[in-house]
Structure 1
Amino acid sequence: MPEPRPAEPVAQAFEDQRGRLHAVAHRMLGSHADAEDVVQEAWLRLARQDTAAIDNLGGWLTTVVSRLSLDVLRSRKTHPQASYDDQLPELVVTLGIDPAPAPEETAALADSVGAALLVVLESLGPNERLAFVLHDLFAVPFDEIGRILGKSTDAAKMMASRARRKVQSAERPEETGPEQRAVVRAFLAASRSGNFDDLLRVLDPEVRLSVDTGGEPVVVLGATKVAANARFGAGGATIGRPALVDGRLGLVAWGADGRVMSVLAFTVTGDRITGIDVVSDPVRLARLDLPAPPLP
């Protein structure tokens, strides 16, 4: 038999809530695909309910989405290998960040920093993550959070407080001001020209290069080795464009066939680059909704 469908006014009310429900699930799970699955399951559960008995549809749906997300998080803790690929942070890439960003680029940076928060949230336990996300990001009262968790209101407050301290103590996103941009531009110019000495001038002696190719990450340590890799790898890309990558200064590189070859994100401390993260995994790159490469 086909699934029952809620009456049209309830279906419209669900659609009005869909964006917020997806945002809750995404902050909980760090994956748009998982969030969409949770929201769809909430819709199916709503279809089986007597909606006349639901006093607060928004609260009911928030509870269902939260509990479903909690189940997914707990499953990941028990079977981490089963969802490893889904837990990889989804890149947020904003192209064309200029030295003096416009207001819309500042908004894009805020979105990227929001994505970076997901990485911090991964370090929290499922209950802490739910308490923090629902209260601090979506203003759900602690008594409701306690009911979702099966805990007291005071216990929910304590969980959110612990999570908040962990988030606040986590490393802040890198600055993206003119000085940091100049360092990145100097690195890119030296990479294109193959000037080894210029590369060494902008790389911290203990710089760390990490490359995600889809398997085990490749890690290169030290300015000399990183400079050599940068110099010899510069010829692969035909077009590069500056970008923000998860709130950090970065670059998107396209190949001659028009496909994205790699996405780079730089960590800049003072006047030196201390970290470079490269994603060249075709699966992760395919998830990016990037336009065709600009004309050279």
Structure 2
Amino acid sequence: MSETTPTDPLAEAFEAERDRLRAVAHRLLGSHADAEDAVQEAWLRLSRQDPAGIRNLAGWLTTVVGRISLDVLRSRRAHPEASYDDVPELVVTADDAAAPEEDAALADAVGIALLVVLDSLRPSERLAFVLHDLFAVPFEEIGRILGRSADATKMLASRARRKVQAGERPAAAGREQRAVVDAFLTAARHGDFEGLLRVLDPEVRLTSDTPGGVVVTLGATAVAAGARLGAAAALRARAVRVNGRPGVLTWRADGTPAALIAFTVTGTRITAIEALSDPARLAATRLPPPE
């Protein structure tokens, strides 16, 4: 997307805000391409406005980008088959034990891990948390975007904050999260449908990235049914961390990786699962299969 050419004071003022607006949109949407589109749409709306009627340009632009991003987030939930095109870099490490040399890789994954946790939030929760906690936008302004009171918006942000804190404690809660994932894998291997439902959040989201495209499955019942049916195909597996989250990497009999699965665990429930079976991306993991 081409940027505006600052040939007048309004365009220059917008360019001064572009980087901040891009950062806001990217935290909200998790996609560089969608963020660029949101910022450019904000410029188009600004260019149709009378500047004299805008008292606080930075606040006005933040509100517009927030509303555009909220529409995109709601559209994704309404049409989960439509995925966004950014795929974060994979940081995959063995989860046999916390080796000191892995610390840097896990630290690099923190930013990606936050986006993953944010993706498990409802659109209104994500907007309230990101705008207030990450960009210090007052609750009154966020409430105007959401069409809610400041108190209701504060509650949304508080609920989102708890979810983010629960999902971003890989060091302190690593064993507990791994136990939840192991319970899921055990239930899948044994075809234990009820066992799967016990560890899946009712609104769990499964995103499968395959050579043929991205497929999204929503809801514990649908995810549990697919996990039970797919368990028979499981081969050799190794516990891994994927961008700081608990996961599992499986291999075929010929030693080539079959699938990489990452889990987002909030409390005692799995809220999101990402399954990757694209051979090109799997080859980049470079982890040897278990003996």
Instruction: Please give the TM-score of this superposition, normalised by the length of structure 2.
Output: 0.58
> Would the aligned equivalents of 1:91 and 1:245 in 2 still touch at CA under 8 Å?
no
Residue 153 of structure 1 pairs with residue 150 of structure 2: yes
Which position in structure 2 is the counterpart of 1:229? 234
**Are the equivalent residues in 2 in contact too, given 1:265–1:278 (CA < 8 A)?**
yes
Contact 1:95 1:244 in 2 (8 A): yes
Deviation at 1:42, TM superposition (A): 0.8
Q: CA deviation at 1:68?
A: 1.2
What is the alpha-carbon distance in structure 1 between the residues aligned to residue 115 and residue 147 of structure 2?
29
Tell me which amino acid in the other structure corresponds to 1:60.
W
Contact kept in structure 2, 1:113 and 1:246, CA below 8 Å: yes
Cross-structure match for 1:70: 70
How many angstroms does 1:108 deviate by?
A: 0.8
- Structural RMSD (CA): 4.9
| Inter-CA distance 211–39: structure 2 relative to 1 (3 Å threshold) | closer
**CA-CA distance at 1:13 after TM superposition:** 4.1
Paired residue secondary structure (1:145):
helix
2:105 counterpart of 1:110: no
Give how far 1:73 is off. Answer: 3.1
Deviation, 1:118, is 2.0
Taking a change above 3 Å as real, the CA distance of residues 49 and 7 of structure 1, as seen in their structure-2 partners, is: farther
Aligned residues of 1:99 and 1:177 also touching (Cα < 8 A): no
SS in 2 for 1:139: coil
Counterpart for residue 219 of structure 1: 227
CA distance in 1, matches of 2:13, 2:249: 40
Q: Is the 8 A contact 2:92 2:285 kept in 1?
A: no
Q: Which structure 2 residue ranges, 5 or more long, are not aligned?
A: 190-205, 218-222, 251-256, 266-272
Change (3 A) 1:45 1:279: same
The structural deviation recorded for 1:62 is 0.5
* Matching residue within 81, 86, 101 for 1:84: 81
**Runs (5+) with no aligned partner, structure 1:** 184-202, 235-241, 254-259, 269-275
Q: Aligned AA for 1:28?
A: L
Q: Check the 8 A contact 1:112/1:244 in 2, yes or no.
A: no
Choose 1 or 2 for highest CA Rg: 1
1:206 to 164, 186, 189: 186
Deviations 1:5-38 (A, max 9, x none): 6535544443443333233223333443332221
Match of 2:130 in 1: 133
SS at the partner of 1:85?
Answer: coil
Indicate the percent of aligned positions where both proteins have the same amino acid: 49
Residue 43 to residue 156, structure 1, CA distance change in 2 (3 Å): same
Give the aligned length. 240
From the superposition, tell whether residues 277 and 41 of structure 1 become closer, same or farther in structure 2 (CA, over 3 Å): closer
- Report if the CA contact (8 A) 1:208-1:220 is conserved: yes
Q: 1:279 aligns with which of 268, 271, 276?
A: 276
Distance 1:244 1:59, change over 3 A: farther
1:144 paired with 2:146, answer no
- 1:119 maps to 119
Q: Residues 114 and 7 from structure 1, CA distance in 2 versus in 1: closer, same or farther, beyond 3 angstroms? A: same
Separation of aligned partners in 2, 1:25 and 1:10: 21
Q: Secondary structure at the match of 1:114?
A: helix
